């Protein structure tokens, strides 16, 4: 790495901190979890990004998931450019919104209708409001370590016991907003059973990330998901799958299609999507059956609106992306590439005698400096953070860009080549020897 790299990035970071809180517009970008200076990105193409000093990185963030085709895919770029010429925003319906909604519904059997919005946070917040409006109930259940955006009711951590409701994890969230949110341990069947036994007739919905991407990469176990489905059915609550990360990223039918293979007849009641369906543009969605959607304005009393919802440039980007990932064999090839990466990382760790475990699905992966895969947030928290930070910076110095935080999943794109994967594994092998 050129000695000028930290200098140029440092200059920009110092300048940014004068006008932007913390110098960044989303906290994890500040590198506070790993230390050092954030890289300010100038451009990206395929599987690579270049920072302000001209250093190239193999990118395993992919804008936190959307860039499943890599950066600047020519067909996606052409669709976006054509749409931009036609108009940036109309504040009125377009045919392309219908086409994108049809494309999502065609691949996700649990959905009959969708509402397009602009961010995962907006989609998650709206799904909760819809669940409450449809059931006439106030209480929601979420799981510690699952992130559903920064809506007030969802910025909550676990209380001191099962009967204790969560309390805010962010200043500015009044306790009375959090009082209707019950936070349980991920993959803990006993807790979800006890929660329904105690509060069943008050629960509007249970919301979950089927693969939690903000605990790095932790799967919801099949018996856990099956039991939630049974309890929601028995007590009249709705089961919400937050697939902002996993949607069209781990499989064409999203994570729910994987659970449907293991649980006969399985479907969530409401699904939340983002990232891949926008192809890198600000776009997200929530969807469910017509029966539930009839409660949403303008049909029903649950209000939701957005000036940029269904934006014509974003929908063009999303449609082009979905069209390309539907190609036969796309996910098989992407999944194989991702497994090659994580298997290589694991082998590098074994050779160095470093405790290390990995998991992946489709184009999403995670790893932990632990002897076995964690099943919930508290286990994730035991991972060796100091060792991760050294690993992160060692790879960064060698031109490999991982998420700058222990608790974030990674993403592989179709643009990553065998040579990119091999170079990453070799860099990891060098760094592992120093850990």
- For 332-348, give the DSSP string: HHHHHHHHHHHHHHHHH
Please report the pLDDT score of residue 162 as a whole number.
46
- Locus of tokens 């089927």: 210
For the four alpha carbons of 326, 329, 330 and 334, in that order, the dihedral sign comes to positive
- For 346-360, give the DSSP string: HHHHHHHT---EEEE
Contact assessment for residue 158 and residue 185, using Cβ atoms and an 8 Å cutoff: yes
Please report the pLDDT score of residue 158 as a whole number.
57
Q: Residue 242 catalytic?
A: yes
Instruction: Determine which one of 59, 142, 186, 242 is catalytic.
Output: 242
Please report the pLDDT score of residue 161 as a whole number.
47
The β-bridge relationship of strands 410-411 and 113-117 is unpaired
Measure the CA–CA gap between 47 and 399, rounded to whole angstroms: 12
| 138: number of Cβ within 10 Å | 13
- Provide the 3-class DSSP secondary structure of residue 244: coil
Instruction: Determine which one of 48, 57, 147, 186 is catalytic.
Output: 147
Q: Residue 152 catalytic?
A: no
Please report the pLDDT score of residue 138 as a whole number.
96
Report residue 175 as tokens. Answer: 């306790």
Report residue 335 as tokens. Answer: 């999944």
- Locus of tokens 């980007």: 317
Return left, alpha or beta for 309; rule: phi > 0 is left, psi -120 to 50 is alpha, else beta. beta
Q: Residue 147 catalytic?
A: yes
| Segments of the chain with pLDDT less than 70 | 1-6, 158-167
DSSP 8-class letter at 277: G
Instruction: Determine which one of 57, 60, 142, 275 is catalytic.
Output: 275
The answer to whether the predicted template modeling score (pTM) of the entire model surpasses 0.75 is yes
Please report the pLDDT score of residue 151 as a whole number.
86
Please report the pLDDT score of residue 4 as a whole number.
47
Please report the pLDDT score of residue 166 as a whole number.
60
Give the burial class of 382: count Cβ atoms within 10 A of its Cβ; 0-12 exposed, 13-18 middle, 19 or more buried. Answer: exposed
Could you give the domains of the chain?
Answer: 4-72+329-432 (3.90.1150.10), 74-325 (3.40.640.10)
Give the burial class of 322: count Cβ atoms within 10 A of its Cβ; 0-12 exposed, 13-18 middle, 19 or more buried. Answer: buried
pLDDT more than 90, % of the chain: 90
């Amino acid at each position: 790495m050129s000695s000028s790299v930290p200098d140029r990035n440092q200059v920009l970071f110092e300048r940014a901190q004068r006008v932007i809180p913390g110098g960044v517009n989303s906290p994890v970008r500040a590198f506070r979890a790993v230390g050092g200076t954030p890289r300010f990105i100038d451009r990206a193409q395929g599987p690579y990004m270049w920072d302000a000093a001209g250093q190239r990185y193999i990118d395993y963030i992919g804008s936190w998931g959307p860039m499943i085709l890599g950066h600047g895919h020519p067909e996606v770029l052409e669709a976006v450019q054509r749409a931009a010429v036609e108009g940036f925003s109309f504040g009125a319906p377009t045919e392309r919104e219908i086409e994108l909604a049809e494309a999502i519904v065609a691949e996700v059997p649990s959905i009959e209708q969708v509402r397009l919005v602009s961010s995962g946070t907006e989609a998650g917040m709206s799904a909760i409001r819809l669940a409450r409006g449809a059931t006439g109930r106030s209480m929601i259940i979420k799981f510690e370590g699952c992130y559903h955006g920064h809506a007030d009711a969802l910025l909550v951590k676990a209380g001191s016991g099962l009967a204790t409701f969560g309390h805010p994890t962010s200043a500015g969230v009044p306790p009375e907003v959090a009082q209707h949110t019950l936070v349980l341990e991920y993959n803990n069947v006993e807790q979800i059973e006890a929660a329904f036994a105690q509060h069943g007739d008050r629960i509007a919905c249970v919301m979950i990330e089927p693969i939690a991407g903000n605990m790095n990469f932790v799967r919801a176990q099949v018996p856990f998901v099956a039991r939630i489905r049974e309890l929601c059915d028995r007590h009249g609550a709705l089961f919400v799958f937050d697939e902002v990360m996993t949607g069209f990223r781990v499989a064409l039918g999203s994570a729910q299609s994987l659970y449907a293979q293991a649980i006969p007849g399985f479907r969530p009641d409401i699904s939340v999507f983002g990232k891949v369906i926008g192809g890198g543009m600000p776009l997200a969605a929530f969807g469910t059956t017509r029966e539930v959607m009839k409660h949403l304005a303008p049909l029903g009393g649950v209000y939701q609106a957005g000036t940029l919802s269904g934006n014509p440039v974003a929908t063009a980007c999303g449609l082009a992306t979905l069209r390309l990932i539907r190609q036969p064999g796309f996910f098989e090839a992407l999944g194989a590439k991702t497994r090659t990466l994580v298997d290589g990382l694991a082998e590098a760790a074994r050779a160095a005698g470093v405790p290390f475990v990995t998991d992946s699905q489709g184009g999403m992966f995670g790893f932990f400096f632990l002897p076995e895969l964690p099943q919930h947030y508290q286990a994730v928290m035991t991972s060796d953070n100091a060792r991760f930070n050294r690993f992160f910076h060692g790879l960064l110095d060698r031109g490999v860009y991982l998420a700058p935080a222990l608790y974030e999943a990674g993403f592989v794109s179709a643009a990553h080549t065998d040579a990119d994967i091999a170079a990453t594994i070799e860099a990891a092998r060098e760094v592992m020897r120093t850990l």
